[in-house]
Homo-oligomer: A and B are copies of this chain.
Protein backbone atom coordinates (compact mmCIF):
# COMPACT_ATOMS: atom_id res chain seq x y z
CA UNK A 1 0.00 0.00 0.00
CA UNK A 2 2.78 2.45 0.84
CA UNK A 3 4.48 1.77 -2.46
CA UNK A 4 1.18 2.26 -4.26
CA UNK A 5 0.68 5.62 -2.57
CA UNK A 6 4.07 6.88 -3.52
CA UNK A 7 3.54 5.61 -6.99
CA UNK A 8 0.27 7.46 -7.58
CA UNK A 9 -0.18 11.22 -8.04
CA UNK A 10 -3.42 13.13 -8.34
CA UNK A 11 -3.18 15.97 -10.86
CA UNK A 12 -5.94 18.57 -10.54
CA UNK A 13 -6.47 20.73 -13.63
CA UNK A 14 -7.43 24.18 -12.37
CA UNK A 15 -7.07 26.19 -15.56
CA UNK A 16 -10.76 26.89 -16.24
CA UNK A 17 -11.80 30.51 -16.58
CA UNK A 18 -15.48 29.82 -15.98
CA UNK A 19 -17.20 32.80 -17.57
CA UNK A 20 -20.34 30.65 -17.64
CA UNK A 21 -20.77 31.29 -13.92
CA UNK A 22 -20.82 35.01 -14.18
CA UNK A 23 -21.74 37.03 -12.14
CA UNK A 24 -20.33 34.83 -9.36
CA UNK A 25 -17.23 33.76 -11.29
CA UNK A 26 -14.81 36.43 -12.43
CA UNK A 27 -11.48 36.43 -14.28
CA UNK A 28 -9.59 36.43 -10.99
CA UNK A 29 -12.12 34.16 -9.26
CA UNK A 30 -12.99 31.27 -11.58
CA UNK A 31 -15.67 28.75 -10.75
CA UNK A 32 -13.31 26.18 -9.15
CA UNK A 33 -12.64 28.59 -6.29
CA UNK A 34 -16.33 29.20 -5.61
CA UNK A 35 -18.46 27.32 -3.15
CA UNK A 36 -21.19 25.90 -5.37
CA UNK A 37 -22.63 23.33 -3.00
CA UNK A 38 -24.34 23.42 0.37
CA UNK A 39 -21.08 23.80 2.30
CA UNK A 40 -18.60 26.65 2.20
CA UNK A 41 -15.97 24.40 0.61
CA UNK A 42 -14.89 25.47 -2.88
CA UNK A 43 -15.03 23.02 -5.78
CA UNK A 44 -11.21 22.70 -5.88
CA UNK A 45 -11.02 22.21 -2.12
CA UNK A 46 -13.55 19.40 -2.35
CA UNK A 47 -11.75 17.84 -5.33
CA UNK A 48 -8.46 17.74 -3.42
CA UNK A 49 -9.96 16.67 -0.08
CA UNK A 50 -11.75 13.73 -1.69
CA UNK A 51 -8.43 12.36 -2.95
CA UNK A 52 -6.50 12.67 0.33
CA UNK A 53 -7.64 9.28 1.69
CA UNK A 54 -6.47 7.67 -1.56
CA UNK A 55 -3.01 9.19 -2.08
CA UNK A 56 -2.28 11.49 0.86
CA UNK A 57 -1.80 15.28 0.78
CA UNK A 58 1.81 15.00 -0.41
CA UNK A 59 0.76 13.32 -3.68
CA UNK A 60 -1.60 15.99 -4.96
CA UNK A 61 -0.57 18.42 -7.70
CA UNK A 62 -2.55 21.38 -9.00
CA UNK A 63 -1.87 22.77 -12.48
CA UNK A 64 -3.02 26.37 -12.87
CA UNK A 65 -1.99 29.62 -14.52
CA UNK A 66 0.20 32.06 -12.63
CA UNK A 67 -2.61 34.50 -11.94
CA UNK A 68 -4.33 31.90 -9.78
CA UNK A 69 -1.26 30.99 -7.70
CA UNK A 70 -2.39 32.81 -4.56
CA UNK A 71 -5.88 31.33 -4.79
CA UNK A 72 -4.53 27.78 -5.22
CA UNK A 73 -2.18 28.23 -2.21
CA UNK A 74 -5.12 29.50 -0.17
CA UNK A 75 -7.57 26.77 -1.17
CA UNK A 76 -5.23 23.75 -1.35
CA UNK A 77 -2.21 24.75 0.75
CA UNK A 78 -0.78 21.23 0.78
CA UNK A 79 -0.73 20.71 -3.00
CA UNK A 80 2.31 20.86 -5.25
CA UNK A 81 1.68 23.66 -7.72
CA UNK A 82 2.67 23.57 -11.38
CA UNK A 83 2.23 26.85 -13.19
CA UNK A 84 1.16 26.43 -16.79
CA UNK A 85 2.80 29.25 -18.75
CA UNK A 86 -0.49 30.05 -20.49
CA UNK A 87 -3.89 28.53 -21.13
CA UNK A 88 -3.45 25.87 -23.84
CA UNK A 89 -6.34 23.43 -23.33
CA UNK A 90 -6.09 20.04 -21.61
CA UNK A 91 -3.61 18.15 -23.84
CA UNK A 92 -0.72 20.57 -23.24
CA UNK A 93 -1.60 20.87 -19.56
CA UNK A 94 -1.70 17.09 -19.05
CA UNK A 95 1.53 16.69 -21.02
CA UNK A 96 3.23 19.26 -18.81
CA UNK A 97 2.05 17.46 -15.66
CA UNK A 98 3.31 14.14 -17.08
CA UNK A 99 6.84 15.38 -17.72
CA UNK A 100 6.84 17.17 -14.35
CA UNK A 101 6.01 13.88 -12.63
CA UNK A 102 9.16 12.31 -14.04
CA UNK A 103 11.50 14.82 -12.38
CA UNK A 104 13.67 13.31 -9.65
CA UNK A 105 14.16 9.65 -10.52
CA UNK A 106 15.26 8.28 -13.87
CA UNK A 107 13.04 5.26 -13.59
CA UNK A 108 9.98 7.13 -12.29
CA UNK A 109 6.70 6.25 -13.91
CA UNK A 110 3.94 7.27 -11.55
CA UNK A 111 0.30 6.55 -12.14
CA UNK A 112 -1.39 9.90 -12.70
CA UNK A 113 -5.02 10.52 -11.74
CA UNK A 114 -6.17 13.52 -13.79
CA UNK A 115 -9.14 15.40 -12.30
CA UNK A 116 -10.91 18.61 -13.33
CA UNK A 117 -10.92 21.02 -10.38
CA UNK A 118 -14.50 22.11 -10.84
CA UNK A 119 -16.77 19.08 -10.84
CA UNK A 120 -19.28 18.18 -8.16
CA UNK A 121 -19.47 14.70 -6.64
CA UNK A 122 -22.01 13.70 -4.04
CA UNK A 123 -20.74 10.19 -3.15
CA UNK A 124 -17.00 10.37 -2.68
CA UNK A 125 -16.61 6.81 -1.40
CA UNK A 126 -17.85 5.43 -4.71
CA UNK A 127 -15.73 7.98 -6.59
CA UNK A 128 -12.59 6.77 -4.79
CA UNK A 129 -13.56 3.17 -5.50
CA UNK A 130 -13.84 3.93 -9.23
CA UNK A 131 -10.54 5.78 -9.25
CA UNK A 132 -8.84 2.95 -7.36
CA UNK A 133 -10.09 0.57 -10.04
CA UNK A 134 -8.67 2.93 -12.67
CA UNK A 135 -5.34 3.04 -10.84
CA UNK A 136 -5.23 -0.75 -10.72
CA UNK A 137 -5.90 -1.02 -14.44
CA UNK A 138 -3.32 1.65 -15.32
CA UNK A 139 -0.69 0.09 -13.08
CA UNK A 140 -1.08 -3.42 -14.47
CA UNK A 141 -1.44 -2.56 -18.17
CA UNK A 142 -0.29 0.13 -20.61
CA UNK A 143 -3.75 1.64 -20.90
CA UNK A 144 -5.36 5.08 -20.90
CA UNK A 145 -8.24 4.95 -18.44
CA UNK A 146 -11.32 7.15 -18.40
CA UNK A 147 -13.78 7.04 -15.50
CA UNK A 148 -17.14 6.31 -17.12
CA UNK A 149 -20.36 7.47 -15.52
CA UNK A 150 -23.45 5.32 -16.16
CA UNK A 151 -25.90 7.79 -17.73
CA UNK A 152 -29.16 8.32 -15.83
CA UNK A 153 -30.88 10.34 -18.55
CA UNK A 154 -30.16 11.40 -22.16
CA UNK A 155 -28.01 14.40 -21.27
CA UNK A 156 -26.89 16.36 -24.34
CA UNK A 157 -24.20 18.32 -22.55
CA UNK A 158 -21.78 15.45 -22.00
CA UNK A 159 -19.53 13.36 -24.24
CA UNK A 160 -20.29 9.64 -24.36
CA UNK A 161 -18.04 6.54 -24.40
CA UNK A 162 -19.12 3.26 -25.96
CA UNK A 163 -17.53 0.29 -24.22
CA UNK A 164 -16.03 -2.68 -26.05
CA UNK A 165 -14.72 -5.96 -24.64
CA UNK A 166 -14.42 -6.53 -20.93
CA UNK A 167 -10.91 -6.21 -19.56
CA UNK A 168 -11.42 -6.86 -15.84
CA UNK A 169 -14.38 -6.87 -13.46
CA UNK A 170 -15.26 -3.14 -13.90
CA UNK A 171 -12.96 -2.16 -16.77
CA UNK A 172 -13.80 -2.34 -20.47
CA UNK A 173 -11.87 -1.53 -23.60
CA UNK A 174 -13.20 1.65 -25.22
CA UNK A 175 -14.98 1.02 -28.50
CA UNK A 176 -15.45 4.71 -29.32
CA UNK A 177 -15.67 8.21 -27.89
CA UNK A 178 -18.66 10.32 -28.97
CA UNK A 179 -19.05 14.09 -28.92
CA UNK A 180 -21.98 15.76 -27.16
CA UNK A 181 -24.96 14.17 -28.93
CA UNK A 182 -28.37 15.38 -30.07
CA UNK A 183 -31.24 14.44 -27.76
CA UNK A 184 -32.35 11.77 -30.22
CA UNK A 185 -28.90 10.23 -30.32
CA UNK A 186 -28.49 10.44 -26.54
CA UNK A 187 -31.78 8.60 -26.15
CA UNK A 188 -30.51 5.86 -28.45
CA UNK A 189 -27.31 5.51 -26.41
CA UNK A 190 -29.36 5.00 -23.26
CA UNK A 191 -31.66 2.52 -24.97
CA UNK A 192 -28.79 0.46 -26.40
CA UNK A 193 -26.80 0.39 -23.15
CA UNK A 194 -23.05 0.04 -22.83
CA UNK A 195 -22.51 3.80 -23.02
CA UNK A 196 -21.00 6.04 -20.35
CA UNK A 197 -20.69 9.74 -19.80
CA UNK A 198 -17.12 10.90 -20.25
CA UNK A 199 -16.32 12.39 -16.84
CA UNK A 200 -13.05 14.00 -17.93
CA UNK A 201 -11.37 12.04 -15.11
CA UNK A 202 -8.47 9.97 -16.41
CA UNK A 203 -5.88 7.56 -15.03
CA UNK A 204 -2.63 6.50 -16.76
CA UNK A 205 1.02 6.03 -16.17
CA UNK A 206 3.11 9.07 -17.12
CA UNK A 207 5.13 7.16 -19.71
CA UNK A 208 2.02 5.61 -21.24
CA UNK A 209 0.33 8.97 -21.89
CA UNK A 210 3.61 10.44 -23.17
CA UNK A 211 3.89 7.49 -25.58
CA UNK A 212 0.39 8.32 -26.78
CA UNK A 213 1.46 11.95 -27.28
CA UNK A 214 4.40 10.70 -29.37
CA UNK A 215 2.02 8.79 -31.60
CA UNK A 216 -0.91 11.20 -31.91
CA UNK A 217 0.53 14.66 -31.14
CA UNK A 218 4.16 14.23 -32.22
CA UNK A 219 5.00 17.94 -32.31
CA UNK A 220 3.68 18.50 -28.84
CA UNK A 221 5.54 15.38 -27.72
CA UNK A 222 8.82 16.78 -29.03
CA UNK A 223 8.22 20.02 -27.13
CA UNK A 224 7.36 18.11 -23.98
CA UNK A 225 10.65 16.17 -24.26
CA UNK A 226 12.52 19.49 -24.45
CA UNK A 227 10.67 20.67 -21.36
CA UNK A 228 11.47 17.38 -19.62
CA UNK A 229 15.17 17.97 -20.29
CA UNK A 230 15.02 21.45 -18.76
CA UNK A 231 13.11 20.21 -15.71
CA UNK A 232 15.68 17.44 -15.28
CA UNK A 233 18.60 19.86 -15.47
CA UNK A 234 16.93 22.22 -12.98
CA UNK A 235 15.86 19.24 -10.83
CA UNK A 236 12.46 20.91 -10.50
CA UNK A 237 9.25 21.25 -12.50
CA UNK A 238 9.49 25.05 -12.59
CA UNK A 239 8.51 26.40 -15.99
CA UNK A 240 10.86 29.25 -16.93
CA UNK A 241 10.79 31.60 -19.92
CA UNK A 242 12.19 28.98 -22.29
CA UNK A 243 9.58 26.45 -21.20
CA UNK A 244 7.00 29.19 -21.70
CA UNK A 245 8.18 29.70 -25.27
CA UNK A 246 7.94 26.01 -26.09
CA UNK A 247 4.57 25.79 -24.39
CA UNK A 248 3.17 28.80 -26.23
CA UNK A 249 3.70 26.98 -29.55
CA UNK A 250 1.64 23.97 -28.47
CA UNK A 251 -1.60 23.37 -30.28
CA UNK A 252 -4.65 24.29 -28.21
CA UNK A 253 -6.46 20.96 -28.23
CA UNK A 254 -8.24 18.83 -25.69
CA UNK A 255 -6.79 15.49 -24.56
CA UNK A 256 -9.94 13.82 -25.91
CA UNK A 257 -9.64 15.26 -29.44
CA UNK A 258 -5.86 15.18 -29.51
CA UNK A 259 -5.11 11.77 -28.05
CA UNK A 260 -7.87 9.59 -26.64
CA UNK A 261 -10.12 9.48 -29.73
CA UNK A 262 -7.17 8.14 -31.75
CA UNK A 263 -5.58 5.82 -29.19
CA UNK A 264 -6.33 2.09 -29.26
CA UNK A 265 -5.38 1.38 -25.68
CA UNK A 266 -8.25 3.27 -24.03
CA UNK A 267 -10.15 1.71 -21.17
CA UNK A 268 -13.31 2.85 -19.46
CA UNK A 269 -14.13 2.12 -15.83
CA UNK A 270 -17.75 1.09 -15.39
CA UNK A 271 -18.25 3.02 -12.17
CA UNK A 272 -21.29 2.92 -9.98
CA UNK A 273 -22.94 6.36 -10.02
CA UNK A 274 -21.32 8.82 -7.58
CA UNK A 275 -23.54 11.87 -8.06
CA UNK A 276 -21.26 13.41 -10.62
CA UNK A 277 -22.02 16.77 -12.20
CA UNK A 278 -19.57 18.79 -14.27
CA UNK A 279 -21.27 22.02 -13.15
CA UNK A 280 -20.88 23.35 -16.67
CA UNK A 281 -23.60 25.98 -16.43
CA UNK A 282 -26.06 27.48 -13.98
CA UNK A 283 -28.55 24.99 -15.36
CA UNK A 284 -26.31 22.03 -14.58
CA UNK A 285 -25.42 23.54 -11.23
CA UNK A 286 -29.11 23.38 -10.35
CA UNK A 287 -29.15 19.68 -11.28
CA UNK A 288 -26.94 18.87 -8.30
CA UNK A 289 -29.73 19.85 -5.90
CA UNK A 290 -33.22 18.64 -5.27
CA UNK A 291 -35.73 21.15 -6.66
CA UNK A 292 -39.17 21.70 -5.08
CA UNK A 293 -42.35 20.13 -6.47
CA UNK A 294 -42.65 22.85 -9.13
CA UNK A 295 -39.06 22.36 -10.23
CA UNK A 296 -37.82 25.55 -8.59
CA UNK A 297 -34.44 25.65 -6.89
CA UNK A 298 -34.22 28.53 -4.43
CA UNK A 299 -31.18 29.57 -2.40
CA UNK A 300 -31.14 32.61 -0.14
CA UNK A 301 -33.82 35.24 0.51
CA UNK A 302 -36.55 34.86 -2.10
CA UNK A 303 -40.29 34.85 -2.72
CA UNK A 304 -41.29 32.66 -5.66
CA UNK A 305 -44.88 32.90 -6.88
CA UNK A 306 -46.65 31.05 -9.73
CA UNK A 307 -43.29 30.01 -11.21
CA UNK A 308 -41.94 26.73 -12.55
CA UNK A 309 -38.48 25.33 -13.26
CA UNK A 310 -36.70 28.43 -12.01
CA UNK A 311 -33.35 28.81 -10.30
CA UNK A 312 -33.10 31.69 -7.83
CA UNK A 313 -29.88 32.42 -5.95
CA UNK A 314 -29.91 35.51 -3.77
CA UNK A 315 -26.81 37.15 -2.37
CA UNK A 316 -28.59 38.73 0.57
CA UNK A 317 -31.20 41.01 -0.91
CA UNK A 318 -34.68 39.64 -1.46
CA UNK A 319 -35.49 38.35 -4.94
CA UNK A 320 -39.16 38.08 -5.91
CA UNK A 321 -39.98 35.90 -8.92
CA UNK A 322 -43.53 35.99 -10.28
CA UNK A 323 -45.15 34.04 -13.13
CA UNK A 324 -41.85 32.82 -14.57
CA UNK A 325 -41.04 29.58 -16.37
CA UNK A 326 -37.51 28.20 -16.69
CA UNK A 327 -35.69 31.37 -15.74
CA UNK A 328 -32.39 31.52 -13.84
CA UNK A 329 -31.83 34.49 -11.51
CA UNK A 330 -28.40 34.91 -9.92
CA UNK A 331 -27.43 37.84 -7.73
CA UNK A 332 -23.77 38.40 -6.92
CA UNK A 333 -24.30 41.57 -4.90
CA UNK A 334 -22.68 43.86 -7.46
CA UNK A 335 -24.43 42.43 -10.52
CA UNK A 336 -27.52 40.52 -11.36
CA UNK A 337 -28.10 37.88 -14.02
CA UNK A 338 -31.53 36.94 -15.35
CA UNK A 339 -31.33 34.31 -18.08
CA UNK A 340 -33.72 31.89 -19.74
CA UNK A 341 -32.75 28.37 -18.69
CA UNK A 342 -32.26 27.27 -22.29
CA UNK A 343 -29.86 30.17 -22.85
CA UNK A 344 -27.55 29.66 -19.85
CA UNK A 345 -24.61 28.97 -22.17
CA UNK A 346 -24.98 32.53 -23.50
CA UNK A 347 -23.90 34.00 -20.19
CA UNK A 348 -20.49 34.11 -21.87
CA UNK A 349 -21.95 36.78 -24.16
CA UNK A 350 -22.54 39.03 -21.17
CA UNK A 351 -18.90 38.64 -20.12
CA UNK A 352 -17.76 39.42 -23.69
CA UNK A 353 -19.95 42.50 -23.88
CA UNK A 354 -18.74 43.76 -20.51
CA UNK A 355 -15.13 43.25 -21.61
CA UNK A 356 -15.81 45.18 -24.81
CA UNK A 357 -17.33 48.00 -22.80
CA UNK A 358 -14.29 48.09 -20.52
CA UNK A 359 -16.31 47.13 -17.46
CA UNK A 360 -13.30 45.38 -15.92
CA UNK A 361 -14.72 45.72 -12.41
CA UNK A 362 -17.45 43.24 -13.40
CA UNK A 363 -15.60 40.52 -15.33
Contact A338 B335 (CB under 8 A): no
Known: A319-B338, A322-B340, A323-B342. 15 other contacts (CB 8 A): A303-B350, A303-B354, A305-B346, A305-B350, A306-B343, A320-B336, A320-B339, A320-B347, A320-B350, A322-B343, A322-B349, A324-B327, A324-B340, A327-B338, A331-B336
* 7 closest A-B pairs by CB: A323-B343, A323-B340, A322-B339, A320-B350, A318-B335, A319-B336, A320-B337
Copy tally for this chain in the complex stands at: 2
CA distance A320 to B359 in the complex (A): 13
**Partner-B contacts on A (CB < 8 A):** 22-23, 303, 305-306, 317-325, 327, 329, 331, 333-340, 342-343, 346-347, 349-350, 353-354, 359, 362
20 contacts between A and B (CB under 8 A): A303-B353, A303-B354, A305-B349, A306-B343, A306-B346, A317-B335, A317-B336, A318-B359, A319-B336, A320-B336, A320-B339, A322-B338, A322-B343, A322-B346, A322-B347, A322-B349, A323-B343, A323-B346, A325-B340, A329-B336
The listed residue (B317, B320, B333) touching A338 by CB distance below 8 A is: B320
- How far in angstroms is the closest Cβ of chain B from A198? 27
Q: How far is the CA of A359 from the CA of B320 in the complex (A)?
A: 13
**Contact of A323 with B339 at beta-carbon distance under 8 Å, contacts A318-B334, A359-B318, A362-B318 already known:** yes
- Complex contact B343–A338 (CB within 8 A): no
Contact yes or no, B322 A334, CB < 8 A? no
User: A322 is contacted by which of B305, B324, B337 (Cβ under 8 Å)?
Assistant: B337
Write out the residue numbers on chain B whose beta carbons fall within 8 Å of the beta carbon of A305. Answer: 346, 349-350, 353
- Given contacts A303-B350, A327-B327, is CB(A339)–CB(B318) below 8 Å? no
The answer to whether A338 touches B346 (Cβ under 8 A) is no
Nearest residue in B to A324 (C-beta to C-beta)? B340
A331 to chain B, nearest CB (A): 7
**Contacts of A23 on B, CB cut-off 8 Å?**
318, 320
Nearest B residue to A329 by beta-carbon distance? B338
| Most chain B beta-carbon contacts within 10 A, residue among A320, A321, A337, A343 | A320
Residues of B within 8 A of A321 (CB): 338-339
Alpha-carbon separation in the docked complex, A84 to B2 (Å): 85
Which residues of chain B are near A354, meaning CB under 8 Å? 303, 318
B329 and A317 contacting across the interface, CB-CB below 8 Å: no
In the docked arrangement, what's the CA distance between A23 and B342, Å? Answer: 27
Bound together, the chains give a CA A319 to CA B330 distance in angstroms of 10
Contacts of A306 in B (CB 8 A): 343, 346, 349
Chain B residue at minimum C-beta to C-beta distance from A23? B320
Which residue of the partner chain B has the closest CB to A328?
B322
